[in-house]
Amino acid sequence: MDNYPDTAAAPLPETDLTEAEVAPQLLPLAELHLHIEGTLQPELIFELAERNGLALPYSGLEELRALYEFSDLQSFLNLYYANMAVLQTEQDFADMTRAYLARAAAAGVRHAEIMMDPQAHISRGVSLETCVNGVASALATSVEDFGISTLLIAAFLRDLSEESALEVLDGLLAMKAPIAAIGLDSAEVGNPPAKFERLFAKAREAGLRLTAHAGEEGPPSYIIEALDVLGVERIDHGIRCMEDPDLVERLVDERIPLTVCPLSNVRLRTVDTLADHPLPAMLAAGLNVSVNSDDPAYFGGYVDDNFAQLQAVFELSDFDRSRLAANSIHSSFASEERKAELLDELNGG
Ligand code: HPA
Ligand code: ZN
């Protein structure tokens, strides 16, 4: 029901308010689904290529930007992995991470759980130490520098073998890498969660938290497998759960967090348009969903852009926006103390 029928069709009032004052208020929230390599902006790709003396296969920004038209997940992954070639030194990884944190702070992010893809760097001859220490060095001062608490998630590429993943997990544990969790990403269809049963068992034994991409392009059964075989606490994406009512009921009952990425789903053609996105239905079903940016440099926006576009299409209520922010905080791997601090902030405390 429209409670304000008189204002619905009214022209925007003339005002001297600044854009920031007119924009919907940014809620303090946690970003739980973010690939740090997916924050590499075209400008930074060129800057790093120059710094490292690398020739890019694009003549300039225009030619690169023209490639950001994707038909599915794989078409995006091809460009995402290719662009990583410019990441060579610890400084490169640190600069990319700091650029994300600065932009995320402006989007209202107060806690970020950041995935990185170590195997995508090792396979190019960049050491585990270089990529992990570079990202970690920026995360170590994220609270002082950007007011964002952070933790690092090592994500494993599901289109590679479990042996490769186990070897990299061993390397991370041996170097006492500051990781809090592991994740599972890359090409989903044909690479079901059960392929990584031993990897997730080993990570759990090492005291790591567990999350996995499932139900982005893959079927609802992959979500069930990620929960039952891998024992994950959180599902990244998970939107295809809506095809299985029994699964929805289970996810609601068990309060399983789903880290949804609306603009990503549009850009990778998982949904036709944002208006077709299941987020409102997911909220209505009582699912524990949050809004995240996934690979913001590739998908047209950061978490504030995701909220703004959702708002424009669905006219989310203040209640829904607060619920999405609260879900993100409750679903994080942060300490109970940090969660309480963020919830206080959200509630105007
Ligand atoms: N899906 C799967 N793998 C990924 C993604 C994604 O959206 N982004 C980076 N790796
Ligand atoms: Zn993702």
Per-residue pLDDT of the chain (349 residues; tens, 9 = 90+): 333 233 333 333 444 545 444 456 789 999 999 999 999 999 999 999 999 999 999 999 999 999 999 999 999 999 999 999 999 999 999 999 999 999 999 999 999 999 999 999 999 999 999 999 999 999 999 999 999 999 999 999 999 999 999 999 999 999 999 999 999 999 999 999 999 999 999 999 999 999 999 999 999 999 999 999 999 999 999 999 999 999 999 999 999 999 999 999 999 999 999 999 999 999 999 999 999 999 999 999 999 999 999 999 998 999 999 999 999 999 999 999 999 999 999 999 7
- Cα of 236 from ligand 2 centre, angstroms: 7
Q: What is the pLDDT of residue 349?
A: 74
d(CA 92, CA 98): 10
State how far the alpha carbon of 124 is from the alpha carbons of 117, 127, 180, in Å: 12, 9, 25
d(CA 261, CA 238): 10
- Binding site membership of 236 for ligand 1 (Cβ less than 6 Å): no
State how far the alpha carbon of 142 is from the alpha carbons of 89, 98, 136, 268, 303, in Å: 20, 8, 10, 30, 18
Q: Flag whether the pTM goes above 0.75.
A: yes
Q: Is 22 exposed, middle or buried (0-12, 13-18, 19+ CB in 10 A)?
A: exposed
Question: Annotated catalytic, 14?
Answer: no
Residue closest via CA to ligand 1's atom 4 equals 186
- Binding site membership of 120 for ligand 1 (Cβ less than 6 Å): no
Which CATH superfamily groups domain 27-346? Answer: Metal-dependent hydrolases (3.20.20.140)
User: Which of 213, 261, 292 for mutating ligand 1's site (highest number of atoms within 8 Å of CB)?
Assistant: 213
Cα angle 25-27-30, degrees, rounded to a multiple of 5: 155
Average pLDDT over the chain, rounded to an integer: 94
**HEC string of 161-195?**
CHHHHHHHHHHHHHCCCCEEEEEEECCCCCCCHHH
- Binding site membership of 264 for ligand 1 (Cβ less than 6 Å): yes
Looking from the CA of residue 295, the nearest atom of ligand 1 is 8
Q: What is the pLDDT of residue 25?
A: 75
- Binding site membership of 39 for ligand 1 (Cβ less than 6 Å): no
Domain locations along the chain: 27-346
90, 188, 216, 225: which is the annotated catalytic residue? Answer: 216
- Cα of 245 from ligand 1 centre, angstroms: 25
In b/e form, how buried is each residue of 294-330, taking b as 16+ CB within 10 angstroms? Answer: bbbbbbebbbbbbbebbeebbebeeebbebbbbbbbb
- Binding site membership of 92 for ligand 1 (Cβ less than 6 Å): no
